Structures are given as structure tokens and as C-alpha cells.
């Protein structure tokens, strides 16, 4: 997979590599020198696709009518209760 360096220093990333890594237009290429070669890391661009519906499976009839603050408060309270239960169970098993 050898490619020539272009007049402006550009190098083409082989299609097989782009496909395997999912690299597409707009990705950021981070380059660094390591010993006697160059390493390139790719960072995905920010997207502007809608995330609406991505949490739909977690919405219940009860949560449909709650504010985000109330949902967050209840989630933290449930997580704290779960954590307390884990600590209590571990403590009880030693007695």
C-alpha cells in the first residue's frame, strides 16, 4: 500500500483503510512524529443529526409528564438508593 506524496505534501489514505476505520470527509487527522515515522489518528467530526428519539425506549408513561429536573432528581435518588443497598448488603454479609 505505497502511495506517492503529492506536490503539497498530501498523502492518500487507502480506501480499504478508510473503510475499515470508517474515516470520511470532515474527519480531523492528528499527526505526530514517533521515532522515524509519522502516526496519524483520526477524530470524528461533530454531527448535526437529530438525537430525538434516541432515548425513546426509556420513556415511560410516568416520565412523560415530568420535567427534566424532576427526572434527573429521581434518577440520582434511585442511584443513591441502589448504592446504599449495595453497601448495606456488603456490610450485612460480614455480620
Domain count for the chain, please give it.
2
Task: Give the C-alpha distances (Å, rounded to integers) separating 91 from 79, 81, 86, 88.
Answer: 18, 15, 9, 5
Same domain, 67 and 89: yes
Same domain, 70 and 42: no
Q: Is residue 51 part of a domain?
A: no
> Tell me, what DSSP letter sits at residue 26?
T
Q: Is residue 37 part of a domain?
A: yes
Domain of 9, in residue numbers? 1-46
pLDDT 10s digits, 65-83:
888 899 899 889 989 988 8
What pLDDT was estimated at residue 46?
85
Same domain, 2 and 41: yes
pLDDT 10s digits, 4-23:
999 999 999 999 999 999 99
Please compute, for residue 46, the number of CA atoms within 13 A of its CA located in the half-sphere on the CB side: 1
Residues in the chain: 95
Amino acid at each position: 500500500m505505497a502511495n506517492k506524496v503529492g506536490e503539497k505534501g498530501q498523502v492518500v489514505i487507502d480506501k480499504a483503510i478508510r473503510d475499515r476505520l470508517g474515516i470520511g470527509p470532515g474527519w480531523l487527522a492528528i499527526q505526530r512524529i514517533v521515532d522515524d515515522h509519522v502516526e496519524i489518528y483520526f477524530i470524528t467530526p461533530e454531527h448535526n443529526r437529530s438525537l430525538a428519539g434516541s432515548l425513546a425506549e426509556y420513556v415511560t408513561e410516568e416520565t412523560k409528564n415530568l420535567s427534566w429536573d424532576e427526572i434527573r432528581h429521581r434518577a440520582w435518588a434511585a442511584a443513591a438508593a441502589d448504592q446504599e443497598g449495595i453497601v448495606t448488603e456488603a456490610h450485612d454479609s460480614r455480620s
